[in-house]
């Protein structure tokens, strides 16, 4: 495969417009890939829990995950995790980042965690979970940019191969450009005149059809086929 431009300068407009058309199609594809990557599931690196402290202060180590049972104040242990960091927002609230979440049942997940506490009773840490968010393994924006960038890079290679490098395709485009030069293009005056004729003809035909419709409607009313 040659990376040089085959027959440079020949078939300029056909090759250029073909490249523009393909480029627009691939840009639409890149935009679609961007949206799809934004909705694609990404493995979690950790989980961000907005918590309200009820006892003690988080100090790292192993964390027990609990789920609330019904409307009463009872909780059930559903898993465990490791505390990565805690950033206080106020004296009693903050964001607790947990990793290595492990659940006792397959149908359990981080959205069911309603309360957390330290696995070591000596640390005396307990908190209610207000909000839970997933921290992706890689930022979603990076994933979207990578996928869209790959599509655009692939598009550049394909467009160059199609319009500049592949001999058969370039010969076809050059021949097409040669044939287009033989076309007898209408002048501006001819186009304006033809457009006026089409507009007048369309108006006359619509008026004739309107009068025929009125005539038939009155005729059918006279003979009682249509009710007034």
Secondary structure class of 89 (helix, strand, coil)? coil
With contact defined as beta carbons under 8 Å apart, do 52 and 88 qualify? Answer: no
pTM: predicted TM-score of the whole model, two decimal places: 0.62
Nearest to 162 by CA among 3, 25, 19, 4: 19
Q: Are 45 and 99 contacting, i.e. CB atoms less than 8 angstroms apart?
A: yes
* Listed range (37-41, 56-60, 124-128, 202-206) with the worst mean pLDDT: 56-60
**Which residue blocks in the chain are alpha helix, DSSP H?**
12-39, 140-160, 167-181, 188-222
Tell me the helices (H) and strands (E) count for the chain, helix number first.
Answer: 4, 6
- The pLDDT score that the predictor gives to residue 99 is 92
Instruction: Read off the pLDDT of residues 1-53 as tens digits, 9 standing for 90 and up.
Output: 456 788 888 889 999 999 999 999 999 999 999 999 988 888 889 999 999 99
pLDDT in the model for residue 1: 47
Query: In the chain, what are the domain boundaries?
Result: 12-38+141-180, 44-136, 187-228
pLDDT digits (tens, 9 = 90+) for 202-211: 999 999 999 9
Residue 104's Cα: distance from chain center in Å?
35
């Amino acid at each position: 495969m040659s990376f040089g431009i085959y027959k440079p300068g020949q078939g300029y407009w056909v090759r250029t417009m073909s490249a523009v058309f393909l480029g627009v199609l691939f840009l639409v594809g890149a935009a679609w890939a961007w949206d799809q990557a934004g909705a694609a599931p990404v493995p979690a690196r950790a989980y961000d829990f907005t918590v309200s402290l009820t006892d003690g202060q988080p100090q790292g180590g192993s964390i027990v995950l609990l789920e609330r049972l019904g409307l009463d104040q009872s909780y059930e242990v559903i898993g465990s995790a490791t505390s990565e960091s805690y950033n206080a927002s106020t004296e009693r609230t903050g964001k607790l980042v947990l990793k290595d979440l492990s659940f006792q049942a397959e149908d359990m997940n981080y959205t069911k965690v309603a309360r957390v506490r330290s696995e070591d009773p000596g640390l005396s840490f307990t908190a209610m979970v207000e909000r839970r968010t997933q921290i992706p393994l890689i930022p979603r924006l990076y994933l979207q940019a990578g996928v869209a960038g790959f599509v655009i890079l692939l598009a550049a290679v394909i467009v160059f191969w199609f319009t500049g490098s592949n001999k058969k395709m370039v010969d076809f485009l050059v021949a097409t450009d040669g044939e287009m030069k033989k076309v007898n293009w209408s002048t501006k005056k001819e186009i304006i005149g033809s457009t006026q004729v089409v507009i007048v003809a369309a108006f006359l035909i619509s008026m004739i059809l309107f009068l025929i419709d009125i005539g038939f409607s009155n005729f059918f009313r006279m003979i009682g086929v249509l009710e007034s």
